[in-house]
Amino acid sequence: MWGGRFASGPGAIMEEINASIGFDQKLAPQDIAGSLAHVAMLAKTGIVSAADAAAISDGLKTIRGEIESGGFTFSRALEDIHMNVESRLATLVGPAAGRLHTARSRNDQVAVDFRLWVRDTLDQIDAQLRDLQKALATKALAHAGDVMPGFTHLQSAQPVTLGHHLLAYVEMFARDRGRFQDARRRLNECPLGAAALAGTSFPIDRDLTAATLGFDRPTANSLDSVSDRDFALEALAAAAITATHLSRFAEEIVLWATSQFAFASLSDKFSTGSSIMPQKRNPDAAELVRGKTGRVIGALTGLLVVMKGLPLAYSKDMQEDKEGTFDALQTLSLCLAAMTGMVEDLKPDVARLEAAAGAGFSTATDLADWLVRALGLPFRQAHHVTGRVVALAAERGVGLEDLTLEDLRAIEPGITAEVFAVLGVRNSVTSRTSYGGTAPVNVKAQAERWLGSL
């Protein structure tokens, strides 16, 4: 297809390193869509005849059907998806097929194909993130008042509610959706018509092809049009952050499912067993989500390294943009599906969570706050008094609520019996009514707000 300058074909090793059809055939729907838009524009501007344009369009639609049905044969000798489609088109419609490539290059062709694929995939990921948020918010509403330990440093800190904990991930995934939506807005410019790097002398209508393909506008600089892969980098950056959020939640599910925590369990649908230990019940779906995060982060790093030293405009190095991006975004999609399934499947042990919520003197901050409110102590003094109370309870091996009023007064004479109202975990969470706090009334309102907006 490009051999006029060459007397012979590439060597076997050159073909092996050069061919991309093994992975870029994934771009077939986008490649045909771009070609259909391009030939329609060529006809409207009079660059090709209506008859040739009609034949080309019919041929492209036939090829699309062959690919969708699995009847298309991809050839490594033809390098990539663009040449495979064009070769088949020549077989179907004859010499007219050669007019399709007028006023374009594989450089702007692959740029538009890849943008279309990333855009389509980001739309799918956004829908999956929304579904995950809905699953989390639904479970959060059901457990708005169920108490669990809140941790810092993986040590018991203060009681929270399970609903509040789950809503934290709803917020994270909302930010992820925002990043993907921002990336989509920036990528939604059409590079088709930039040709190889300098534009074209043909009287093309780039606004028409951009509109036909659903872009907001054509790209403004032909050099940047064919050499830009920011849209893939942004998508991968957003994917890496999203995968990190998924991995954090997956780690918690792994911990919760242990016999040591025993906070929640997954059914057989999301668990596996052991080939040697019959008692084992492994949360492998969560572990795989955690593990696959490395692939997503690695794809971002890989593409950054590919792009970091490239001069303008296009270089063949940029063929390395696709495999990592395809793999990372499809891996993320699979992880989102798995996590949504796990959230819906997850069965919390509410009694166990509440029992654990009081461990580690988790209501100590409530005692310090009470000393400030009721006795007017400066917070630092209240913190010191509470520390002495905790030390006494630890020495005796009891909870704060198990100390007597006399024990407490021996440390701070002003303490009254009212203090015991703040030492229970339920009293603690109920008191946290500040905006964004864990009080069940807050959690219920936030969960309902999310479910309404989602």
Token pair 């040449």 is found at 83
Question: Residue 43, preceding bond cis, omega within 30 degrees?
Answer: no
Q: How far is Cα of residue 391 from the mean position of the Cα atoms in its chain?
A: 45
Distance, in Å, from the CA atom of 350 to the CA atom of 450, rounded to the nearest integer, reads: 23
The C-alpha torsion from 198 through 200 and 204 to 208, rounded to 10°, is: -20
> Could you count the other beta carbons within 10 Å of the beta carbon of residue 6?
8
Q: Which of 153, 201, 259, 275 is catalytic?
A: 153
CA 125 to chain centre: 7
- The one catalytic residue in 49, 75, 267, 274 is 274
Whether the CB-CB separation of 288 and 247 falls below 8 Å is answered with no
Give the C-alpha distances (Å, rounded to integers) separating 343 from 302, 303, 333, 371. 31, 32, 16, 40
Bridging pattern class, strands 155-161 and 147-152: antiparallel
The tokens of 350 are what?
């509410």
Q: Rounded CA gap, 436 and 62, in Å?
A: 56
- DSSP label at 432? -
CA 233 to chain centre: 13
Grouping H, G, I as helix, E, B as strand and the rest as coil, residue 399 is coil
Give dist(CA 126, CA 181) in Å, integer. 8
User: What 3-state class would DSSP assign to 251?
Assistant: helix
Query: Between the CA of residue 386 and those of 100, 123, 154, 362, what are the distances in Å?
Result: 79, 52, 21, 12
User: Helix, strand, or coil here: 438?
Assistant: coil
Question: Is residue 153 annotated as a catalytic residue, yes or no?
Answer: yes
Could you tell me if 292 and 335 are in contact, meaning their C-beta atoms sit under 8 angstroms apart?
yes
Contact 394, 196 (CB under 8 A): no
d(CA 373, CA 376): 6
- What is the C-alpha separation between 298 and 14, in angstroms, rounded? 27
Q: How many CB atoms lie under 10 A from the CB of residue 404? A: 8
Neighbours of 134 (CB within 10 A): 17
Write out the catalytic residue numbers. Answer: 153, 274
